[in-house]
Structure 1
Amino acid sequence: MGHYTEKGVGSKLIDVNGKEYLDFISGIAVCNLGHCHPKVVEAVEEQMKKLWHVSNLFQIEGQEQVAQLLVDHSVLDYVFFCNSGAEANEAAIKLARKSTGKHHIVSLTNSFHGRTLGSMSATGQDKIHQGFGPLLTEFTYIEMNDPKALEEAVTEKTAAIMVEVIQGEGGIRLMSNEYAEALTSICEKHNCLLIVDEVQTGIGRTGTAFAYEQFNLSPDIVTVAKGLGNGFPVGALLGKASLKEAFQPGSHGSTFGGNPLAMAAAKAVLTEVFQKDLLQSVEEKGNWFQQQLQQKVGHFQVVDEIRGKGLMVGIACHTEVAPVIKACLEKGLLVLPAGPKVLRILPPLVVTKDELELAGDILADVFATIEQQNSVNI
């Protein structure tokens, strides 16, 4: 944005000059309930007057309440709270290694798991690694949706396979059902863990509480952050009961993880997002929006494919999308890239159909102008 953002309400951001923007970035899949959702604001304000921080030296009721909501809506049994997605993925790597006694981890090319040394080592993108020297050893990167490569990479020495079922930073690439089946069978065959990074896809973004549900997976570890606090920094690692003993007191920790303010935000978010009607509306609006995009922009030569699930949508293009993003910004629509040639669209889950239609119209205008300019340049 050309000016400082002053405030946000629902799906809109407003700059210091009073200009409104339709926010289809949502803080990078963070503000799933939109900006300043009244129930989240109320919960945090109320907690601010009671207690901010005591650390995990003491029992924190909010942690138990949020953990219960997370396990009730997943196949996992226990929760460790931290402050970000990168921290959650660091914890996942440590838990996999400690619980199995093995160190080798397989992850996917085009993945993104964070920027700390461990989570960066799990990330299968050279551009993220460049300039930082040697990474953690014993990571192998393979292409998603290639069961043969998976079978060749995983051995009896493999502690875990770490995946995103929809690669966010990697271009809104979806895992195939065949690949999901291969993950399950190979993990069973080699007695290794399945880690699903749901930092961007989790908390209702794809139309279910967690995206792994749509791929018939039963992960041993799931990581979440972004949408969990609707803008309040919070992350979590969810694990199956069999892993609990590996994370005894003192083996891993976080000073600020699960503090009362973060838990107040997360409890309010999950209470809203995990409602069946809201999740169903995300699925319905996502399907409708993709159909709208097919009609409005799918026919342009520059557009290659429209893909995604729920309200996590990508428009793959034949050329770089930076000019599209800039032109959308000028017209009051905020979108972002997922790699140089994919436009990533992440509206709040509470977005209206009118707002989705407006966004589609703006994108149609922008693509029409760009295609016309390309024709003139040719």
Structure 2
Amino acid sequence: MITHRELFLKNVAQTSDFPLALEIEKAEGVYMYGKDGKQYMDLISGIGVSNVGHRHPKVVEAIKNQVDKYLHLMVYGEYVQSPQVELAEALVKTLIPKVENIQPLDNVYFTNSGTEAVEGAMKLAKRFTGRQEIISCFNAYHGATQGALSLSGSENFKRNFRPLLPEIRNIRHGVMEDLAFITEKTAAIIIEIVGGEAGVRIPSKEYFLALRKRCDETKTLLILDEIQSGFGRTGTFWAFEQFEIYPDVLLCAKGMGGGMPIGAFIANHEVMAVFKNNPILGHITTFGGHPVSAASSLATLKVILEENLLDAVKAKAALFKSLLVHEKIKEVRNQGLMMAVEFEDFDTLKPIIDRAIEKGVVTDWFLFCDNSMRIAPPLIITEEEIRKACEVILESV
């Protein structure tokens, strides 16, 4: 009889010649369980998704309650659906500016994923400003659809899919002098607060203040990509809160859904209103803000805030850093529980990742920093679990 693993390799489209191919039958909290009952600690949260852990009871309850009411009803933006409305209100409450004279982000457009949030934000910037140029950073990853891929700062990922969008410029993340490339011709700059796939790179507060000032001077929209860093990953609900700036457009997904697919781009009413006319229905989606995903996301948001998960992020990250000490570890970079453990090269790192998985701890590497180990555990991870995970990693080293 053909196995699920064989069917996976035969019928499910592959994106590499060496998929992990772990066969998982159950997941709960920080753990996943294989067909043979083997336990795996998920130190990457499904790549930044399971911020509140796998199958958090309150998230599962919200999903079940919504399933009993209704599923898809109508394309986005036509019907009043309570899960969407309540989630939008809750998101807006997390985005109240800390200073006066800033127009708050109070209009949420729901999508199915982070890459779709990027696509919508790119269209929004062009339509609102009437400009075409969009700036992103080298070694940035914003998604794999053609518009989002055009922003990528890695030619290796783009060259075989050209032609892509014109008038895209890449600058260096965190380099002050490159801000001069933002001009009156620039519709928007899309930038991560924490450079994720670059291997957790964190610019200074002064850089982001200068970036905000430059965007104001040139009337360029500042789009912050918090698809990986949002929903508590860095110790505040949004990473930008730690840098004293406020965006014109905010992108979120991944940890937003509690394990369900959802994303959003968020702006103010004036900016978002351009989708209403010339043309009407300037951006549309069938399944964006699916009611079950929206219910799951609202429950996730409430868990993060009501269970005070943000309060312990700094201490948990510090514990990781204090334990991950070895002559082969060159550096540990982090912003909260978004972490990169640097080794000499990929040839050193890959066997360590493989051995750790064999020992029941799942880690990963970064697209544009393949000598660094990704660590981004569920925020609910305990001190005991951190100690166990680090023990396994060091044994694997």
In the alignment, structure 1 segments of 5+ residues that lack a partner are: 368-378
In structure 2, distance between residues paired with 1:59 and 1:311 = 36
Given candidates 120, 135, 156, the residue that maps to 1:91 is 120
SS at match of 1:163: strand
Aligned to 2:206: 178
Give 1:311 deviation, angstroms.
1.1
Give identity over the alignment, percent.
Answer: 39
Aligned to 1:123: 152
Give 1:231 deviation, angstroms.
1.4
In structure 2, distance between residues paired with 1:139 and 1:3 = 38
Give 1:240 deviation, angstroms.
2.4
In structure 2, distance between residues paired with 1:357 and 1:265 = 30
SS at match of 2:330: strand
Contact 1:303 1:316 in 2 (8 A): yes
In structure 2, distance between residues paired with 1:117 and 1:353 = 42
Give 1:309 deviation, angstroms.
1.3
Contact 2:200 2:335 in 1 (8 A): no
Instruction: State the AA in 2 paired with 1:178.
Output: E
The answer to whether structure 1 residue 241 and structure 2 residue 269 are counterparts is yes
Q: TM-score with structure 2 length normalisation?
A: 0.88
In structure 1, distance between residues paired with 2:273 and 2:295 = 28
Given candidates 83, 89, 97, the residue that maps to 1:68 is 89
Contact 2:55 2:259 in 1 (8 A): no
Instruction: State the AA in 2 paired with 1:123.
Output: S
Give 1:342 deviation, angstroms.
1.0
In structure 2, distance between residues paired with 1:291 and 1:170 = 23
In structure 1, distance between residues paired with 2:273 and 2:264 = 18
Aligned to 2:55: 36
Contact 2:231 2:301 in 1 (8 A): yes
SS at match of 1:344: strand
Inter-CA distance 109–3: structure 2 relative to 1 (3 Å threshold): closer
Instruction: State the AA in 2 paired with 1:31.
Output: S
Given candidates 65, 68, 85, the residue that maps to 1:49 is 68
Contact 2:124 2:272 in 1 (8 A): no
Inter-CA distance 130–274: structure 2 relative to 1 (3 Å threshold): farther
Given candidates 311, 331, 344, the residue that maps to 1:305 is 331
The answer to whether structure 1 residue 59 and structure 2 residue 80 are counterparts is yes
Tell me which moved more, 71-80 or 14-23: 71-80
In structure 2, distance between residues paired with 1:178 and 1:305 = 23
Given candidates 356, 361, 377, the residue that maps to 1:328 is 356
The answer to whether structure 1 residue 347 and structure 2 residue 373 are counterparts is no
SS at match of 1:195: strand
Contact 1:290 1:313 in 2 (8 A): no
Contact 1:3 1:16 in 2 (8 A): no
Give 1:3 deviation, angstroms.
4.2
Aligned to 1:376: none
The answer to whether structure 1 residue 200 and structure 2 residue 200 are counterparts is no
Instruction: State the AA in 2 paired with 1:310.
Output: G
In structure 1, distance between residues paired with 2:306 and 2:89 = 15
Contact 1:3 1:17 in 2 (8 A): no
Tell me which moved more, 185-194 or 54-63: 54-63
The answer to whether structure 1 residue 231 and structure 2 residue 259 are counterparts is yes
User: How many residues were matched structurally?
Assistant: 361
Give 1:226 deviation, angstroms.
0.5
In structure 2, distance between residues paired with 1:6 and 1:125 = 35
In structure 1, distance between residues paired with 2:269 and 2:203 = 26
In structure 1, distance between residues paired with 2:194 and 2:359 = 29
Partner deviation per Cα, 1:180-207 (whole Å, 9 max, x = no partner): 1221111111111100111111111111
Stretches of 4+ moved more than 4 A in 1?
none
Aligned to 2:14: none
Give 1:322 deviation, angstroms.
1.1
Contact 1:145 1:175 in 2 (8 A): yes
Give 1:141 deviation, angstroms.
0.4
RMSD across aligned positions (CA)? 1.3
SS at match of 2:308: helix
Partner deviation per Cα, 1:98-144 (whole Å, 9 max, x = no partner): 11111111110010000011111111111221311211011100111
In structure 2, distance between residues paired with 1:259 and 1:366 = 41
In structure 2, distance between residues paired with 1:111 and 1:182 = 20
In structure 2, distance between residues paired with 1:110 and 1:226 = 19
Give 1:277 deviation, angstroms.
2.0
Aligned to 2:46: 27
Partner deviation per Cα, 1:254-276 (whole Å, 9 max, x = no partner): 11011211111111111111337
Contact 2:31 2:42 in 1 (8 A): yes
Give 1:178 deviation, angstroms.
2.4
In structure 1, distance between residues paired with 2:220 and 2:136 = 13
The answer to whether structure 1 residue 280 and structure 2 residue 311 are counterparts is yes
The answer to whether structure 1 residue 5 and structure 2 residue 31 are counterparts is no
Contact 2:139 2:152 in 1 (8 A): yes
Give 1:350 deviation, angstroms.
0.6
Contact 1:10 1:35 in 2 (8 A): yes
Give 1:64 deviation, angstroms.
1.2
Tell me which moved more, 306-315 or 170-179: 170-179
Aligned to 2:138: 109
SS at match of 1:315: strand
